[in-house]
């Protein structure tokens, strides 16, 4: 049984969590205001949850009850259909407070976007209505022992008027907290599909075995699929997003970049607070306070500027996606959107790592004490930025500018 935050009674691993009725968010402004209100609460226990690996059940339920989970649902289905810029801002706000809580809904929104691109009207109605009512979508996508992150071994086999699914998934962020678990598999024709499984379905097991040193409370562990029954109306043809231009990859990467920006914001915030309240100046600086040390001042200024630049590029990328989504999208438009987000991802990766590491150099030896748990910022940044190596962001941008090569279509670019 996973340890739960506060006194929340976490369900058994083979049980579906309860559905808490959700409020209805109706505008971009309301979405951002709601995120700020939640972030105040989420930040209070973030360090303790990380240190104890106390899973954030109470916080996840507050997130769902707030209505944030439904903010990208199209207006025709009753959602706010917020802009990409607003979605990125929400992820930054929550991730600054607690980046595990920022990451857990990431696949939820990715699945909602895939549903918009490939779902039938009946599927869209079913899942959008469920999300607006408070249901959460998780993830069971990447597999551990394949050649690379995009390689899939899970197979969907015909079974009467339905199908059976078997496989073993790892890096299943959100699955433990989910009511529905989308999982990737190959159909009988070798095409990539996403199967939306009911939590608690016979043969589906969620294993809480996530042991990373960072993003510790995302519960991004294993999902086991043992001959799970699959109905035809729960299958999304994910292969369609690979055959025609979409913003699916850029959309997925925008959320990744926003999480990293939030981590950087949290690290710099705590560095400034520690310097003001606890740090002593270096003796040779000959100043009364650490905040009067000219080298400290310069380094904090440099971090702030780098973070400001990363946020500006992130905001520009989000607006680029908003503009690109207004009309027909061709291959060049999809490529330009992916490159815009790749630029942001490169900068947010760099500043998240730099802020998490520089915090200690500036704040001094006392900042390394476990009672403050300030190392969580670097641990979270280092873990989350391993999803896709930043060196390939620079490569994608350079190859696009020099050789006119469009990036490949997938969720890692």
- Give me the mean pLDDT over the 123-129 stretch: 98
Angle at 253 between CA 100 and CA 90, to 5 degrees: 50
Q: Would you state the pLDDT for residue 180? A: 98
- Give me the mean pLDDT over the 47-73 stretch: 98
User: The dihedral of CA 338, 344, 350, 353: what is its sign?
Assistant: negative
Q: Would you state the pLDDT for residue 78? A: 98
Q: Would you state the pLDDT for residue 16? A: 81
**C-alpha–C-alpha distance, residues 296 and 133, integer Å:** 49
Q: Would you state the pLDDT for residue 242? A: 86
The 3-state DSSP class for residue 222 equals strand
Band of pLDDT at residue 141, cut at 50, 70 and 90? confident
Q: Reply yes or no on whether the pLDDT at 2 is more than 90.
A: no
Band of pLDDT at residue 149, cut at 50, 70 and 90? low
**In order of start, what are the domains of the chain with their CATH numbers?**
28-132 (1.10.540.10), 155-239 (2.40.110.10), 244-403 (1.20.140.10)
Q: Would you state the pLDDT for residue 176? A: 96
Q: Read off the pLDDT of residues 156-180 as tens digits, 9 standing for 90 and up.
A: 999 999 999 999 998 899 999 999 9
- Answer with the residue of higher pLDDT: 206 or 413: 206
Q: Which two tokens stand for residue 29?
A: 């402004």
Helix (H) or strand (E) holding 260: helix 248-277
- Give me the mean pLDDT over the 13-30 stretch: 90
- Give me the mean pLDDT over the 363-367 stretch: 96
Q: Reply yes or no on whether the pLDDT at 8 is more than 60.
A: no
């Amino acid at each position: 049984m996973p340890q739960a935050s506060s006194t929340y009674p976490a369900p058994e691993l083979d049980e579906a969590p309860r559905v808490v009725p959700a409020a209805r968010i109706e505008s971009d402004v309301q979405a951002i205001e709601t995120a700020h209100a939640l972030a105040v609460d989420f930040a209070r226990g973030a360090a303790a949850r990380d240190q104890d690996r106390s899973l954030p059940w109470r916080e996840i339920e507050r997130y769902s009850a707030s209505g944030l989970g439904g903010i990208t649902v199209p207006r025709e289905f009753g959602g706010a259909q917020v802009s990409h810029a607003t979605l990125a801002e929400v992820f930054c706000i929550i991730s600054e407070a607690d980046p595990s809580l920022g990451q857990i809904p990431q696949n939820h929104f990715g699945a909602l976007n895939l549903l918009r691109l490939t779902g039938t009207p009946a599927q869209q109605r079913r899942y959008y209505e469920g999300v607006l009512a408070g249901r959460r979508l998780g993830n069971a996508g990447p597999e551990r022992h394949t050649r690379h992150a995009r390689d899939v071994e899970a197979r969907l086999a015909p079974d009467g008027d339905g199908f059976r699914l078997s496989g073993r998934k790892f890096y299943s962020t959100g699955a433990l907290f989910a009511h529905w678990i989308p999982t990737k598999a190959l159909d009988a024709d070798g095409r990539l599909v996403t199967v939306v499984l009911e939590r608690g379905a016979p043969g589906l097991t969620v294993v809480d075995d996530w042991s990373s040193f960072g993003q510790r409370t995302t519960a991004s562990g294993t999902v086991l699929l043992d001959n799970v029954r699959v109905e035809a109306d729960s299958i999304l043809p994910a292969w369609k997003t690979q055959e025609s231009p979409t913003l699916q990859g850029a959309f997925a990467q925008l959320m990744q970049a926003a999480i990293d920006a939030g981590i950087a914001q949290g690290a710099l915030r705590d560095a400034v607070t520690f310097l003001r309240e606890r740090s002593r100046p270096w003796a040779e600086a000959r100043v009364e306070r650490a905040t009067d040390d000219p080298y400290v001042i310069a380094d904090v200024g440099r971090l702030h500027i780098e973070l400001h630049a990363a946020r500006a590029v992130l905001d520009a990328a989000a607006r680029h996606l908003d503009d690109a989504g207004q009309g027909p999208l061709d291959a060049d438009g999809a490529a330009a959107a992916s490159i815009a987000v790749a630029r942001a991802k490169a900068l947010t990766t760099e500043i998240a790592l730099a802020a998490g590491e520089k915090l200690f150099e500036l704040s001094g030896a006392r900042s390394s004490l476990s009672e403050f748990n300030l190392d969580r910022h670097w641990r979270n940044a280092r873990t989350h930025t391993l999803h896709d190596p930043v060196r390939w962001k620079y490569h994608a941008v350079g190859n696009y500018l020099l050789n006119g090569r469009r990036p490949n279509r997938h969720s890692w670019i």
